[in-house]
Amino acid sequence: MAIAFFDLDRTLLSVNAGQLWVRREVRLGHMGRWQATKAAAWIFGYHLGFSRLEKVLEDAIGTLRGTPEADVVARTLAFYSEEVEPTYRPRAREAVEHHRARGDVLALLSSTSSYLADPVLAALGIEHALCNRFEVDSAGLFTGRAVGGLCFGPGKLGHALALAERLGESLADATFYTDSASDLAVLEVVGSPVAVHPDPTLARIAAKRGWRVEDWGPAKPVSSRRGRGSKPGP
C-alpha cells in the first residue's frame, strides 16, 4: 500500500476553481472589485508556478473574518454543483480508480478550502482531504485565520508528511499528480512525481528530470452561470 496524492485545480479539474469562484462571488455581490483583483493576481501567480505567495493567501483568508460559516458552506455547495462538477478531466477518475484498485490510500492535496474539498471527496471516493481549513468561533463566524498551517507551496509538504506519518507510510513510495511548479517541494520528495497538464515551469522541470507527464483530457471550462437571485454582474 502507498499514498496517491492528487492536486485539484487544473489537475483533477480542467479549470482553476478559484478563478470561477472569484467571478461568481463578484457576480453575486459577495466580493468587491478590489478583493477580486487581488484574488485574480494571486491565482495568476499560482498558475505561473510562483510558490512564495503565502502572505497573499493569508490576507485572502482574513477577508472572511465575521462571515457566517454556514453561508460559505451553502454557497460553496451550490458553486460545486453548478460550475465545478462538470469540469473533471475525462481521465481523472481513471487515475483515481487505478490507485484504488492497487489498494493505495487516496488523498486530495490542494490549496482549495475544505468546503470545496468535501464534495470532491464524495464524488471521487477519495479518503483524505489535505487542504486549507478556516478557524470558526463559537458563534459560527470565521475568525480570519487558517487552522493547521497553510496547505500551499512548501506548506503542502508538511501536510503530506503528517498524513504519511499517521498512516505509517513513506513519501518515497507515494505518487503525486499536479499541474503546478508551486508544488515542487512535494514532487521532489515522492517516489513517483507526475506532471498533469503542467504549467510552463513544471513542464521544463519535468522534461529535465525525466518525470512522467500525463494528459487527462482537454480542458473544457464551463461558462459561469448566474445562480437564482443573483445580482447583475459588473
Give per-residue pLDDT as tens, 56-90: 677 778 888 999 999 999 999 999 999 999 999 99
| Other CB atoms within 10 A of residue 52 CB | 10
Q: Are strands 212-214 and 128-136 parallel, antiparallel or unpaired?
A: unpaired
| pLDDT for the residue 228 | 34
pTM: 0.85
| pLDDT for the residue 149 | 87
In a domain, 73, yes or no: yes
| pLDDT for the residue 114 | 97
In a domain, 226, yes or no: no
In a domain, 229, yes or no: no
In a domain, 227, yes or no: no
In a domain, 47, yes or no: yes
In a domain, 208, yes or no: yes
Q: What is the DSSP annotation of the chain?
A: --EEEE-IIIIIBSS-HHHHHHHHHHHTTSS-HHHHHHHHHHHHHHHTT----HHHHHHHHHTTTT-BHHHHHHHHHHHIIIIIGGGB-TTHHHHHHHHHHTT-EEEEEEEEEHHHHHHHHHHHT--EEEEEEEEE-TTSBEEEEEESS--STHHHHHHHHHHHHHHT--GGG-EEEES-GGGHHHHTTSSEEEEES--HHHHHHHHHHT-EEE------PPPP-PPTTPPPP-
* CATH number of the structural domain spanning residue 79: 3.40.50.1000
**Total domain count, the chain:** 1
Nearest CA-CA partner of 181 in 34, 7, 31: 7
Contact partners, residue 192, CB within 8 Å, separation at least 6? 174, 175, 176, 212
| pLDDT for the residue 32 | 54
CA atoms of 88 and 8, how far apart (whole Å): 9
| Enclosing domain of residue 177 | 3-214
CA atoms of 117 and 109, how far apart (whole Å): 9
| pLDDT for the residue 181 | 92
| pLDDT for the residue 39 | 56
Residue type, 215: D
In a domain, 22, yes or no: yes
Angstrom CA distances, 128 to 173, 198, 223, stand at: 17, 24, 30
Spans in the chain with pLDDT lower than 70: 30-56, 219-234
In a domain, 220, yes or no: no
